[in-house]
Structure 1
Amino acid sequence: MLAREERHRRRIEEDRLRPPSPPPIVHYSEHECSQLGEKIKDDSKFPEAVRVLLTWVERGEVNRRNANNFYSMIQSSNSHIRRLMNEKAAHEKEMEEAKEKFKNALAAILVQFEQIVSVFHAASKQKAWDHFSKAQRKNLDMWRKQAEEIRNIHNEELMGIRREEEMEMSDDDMEDAPESKDSDDSGPLAQVEALREENDSLRCQLDAYRNEVELLKQEQSKAHPPHSEEDATRQQQLSFLQQALQGMQKQLLKIRDELKQREMELEKSTEDKQQLESQIQSLKDRIQAFPASHTLQLERPEWEDRGSDENTSHANESAASAVVSCSQEKESVPDKGPPSPVKSEREALLVGIISTFLHVHPFGASIEYICSYLQRLDTKISTTEVETLLGRLPYTFKQELTGVGASLEKRWKFCGFEGIKTA
């Protein structure tokens, strides 16, 4: 009997502590729909309003008569995305400022740790160390080790933050690198195709902006006279969309002009190629004609043969000079100079990739950072190979020391713009 009463009392206590169940969601009606539309536009009531809208849609409340009302509520929900993105951007900005503030404070703390460790090192020298007692020396040595350990922990933390920032920058560079490589390797035809695709994409975006502007205009004309804040918000959205529309139109016209220019350059290069091929063919025909004319002149007298030989040699010389001049126009062969520090095409590729990488790192990068970037492209690349190659090119790359104390670091920089004047 007592156990039954205890269970009953416990069940009552659990029911009392259980949170109340949410109120049931009402069914769709014109009145509830108008109220829900106002709640969706209110930031404080937006989560509850979206939950009701989701329940209505899942219940199957949408039909042909009220489809426009549901479309308006869904469109209002979509407009809430812009406010959420602005709020997210503001929080990200605050987070970046807090990170920068923390990094600066950590750097200042690390400088003071360096000064404290320097004091311990100065006290450990013989001219000062001999004047301390044995107990004092023991305490000084223990304090020095503790200070160095804490200094190293803070230094590793600061270096980890810097490495994360550099890795984020390198990831952005690797995303941009394939695009730049493709643009360098592609010919005029590929560039024209890329411009056409960009033109189509901009046209689609332009149509989307136009549709959104028309929807805002229709909604503003059909709705009741809004409050001042809502009116200002809609006017601001409308002006923003109109400015974006104008910018897209200008960009579209610019892309079209560039597309026409590329097509004209492509046609011109095709005509030049055909003209050069016809010139080369005519020169080949002239060269083949010289031996035939030489055999026809064998039966002439000796004094005529001398003259004909001289004329033939002059003709051969002129034809050869024409062929040489034509070949020089097509492909010039450089004179042999001093041996190049770049010994293979692989090393030339490495120099190009490293130059591009260091060009976007104006403050330089360590050899480990450079090799980690290169090993993403080829895992066989070693640190010794890269450092030896950089050392053979003093007019292109130079090594500098940065930092103080324990944060001292060797960094490689690209100096080709200055080295071209002295090389």
Structure 2
Amino acid sequence: MVLVDFQEENDSLRCQLEAYKNEVDLVRSDLKAELDQKEKQLKMLQQTLQGMQQQLMESKRRQSEDEIKVRELQARLKSAGEVQARLQLIKADQSGELAGDSIQQSADPAVDMEEEGKADTTDTSSSVSRLSDREAKLIGLLATFLHVHPFGAGVDYVWSYLQKMEPTLRPGEVESLMSRFPTVFRQELSGIGANMERRWQFAGFKTSLSI
């Protein structure tokens, strides 16, 4: 009788142990599935982060290149202003010498043409000397944008690019600023008939200054 009781108790314990083992296996399986899912999510996040880091590095590289181009163009504008100022001084000296000549020499058409050239140079030099920091920055950005668009771009297209950096800028200001520097920005017509449109192009590399 006692042996039978022990046997029954042993069988009961064996069943309980088997149930515990099954429960542990089930919990372990659930944990493994959860860990696998978390690992997949982690890998996806790492890949996304790497992509964002690459985009950020590319954006910084482009920004650095644009800043270098803007500084180069600002330096060229400054150099052009200095050359025009020297031209103004030289022609002013020539004008002073001509003032001491006879009335007949003053009436020479060649002298009149030289005076007109002096006035044009003075106007251009004054335009450069009156440039604000904002206008100088816009000119640099304009030149950079049009330089990578060799076939030119319309005012609205140029304005939409500049507005990202100058939200208060108006299309009329863009066209007015480019019109002040015909040796740097040139306007041309493209298309035929109803499809004809005005495009602005960068002409800074085509201009040669001589004294």
State whether TM-score is above 0.5: no
TM-score, reference length from structure 1: 0.23
Q: Which has the higher contact order (CA 8 A, sep 6+)?
A: 2
Q: Please give the TM-score of this superposition, normalised by the length of structure 2.
A: 0.44
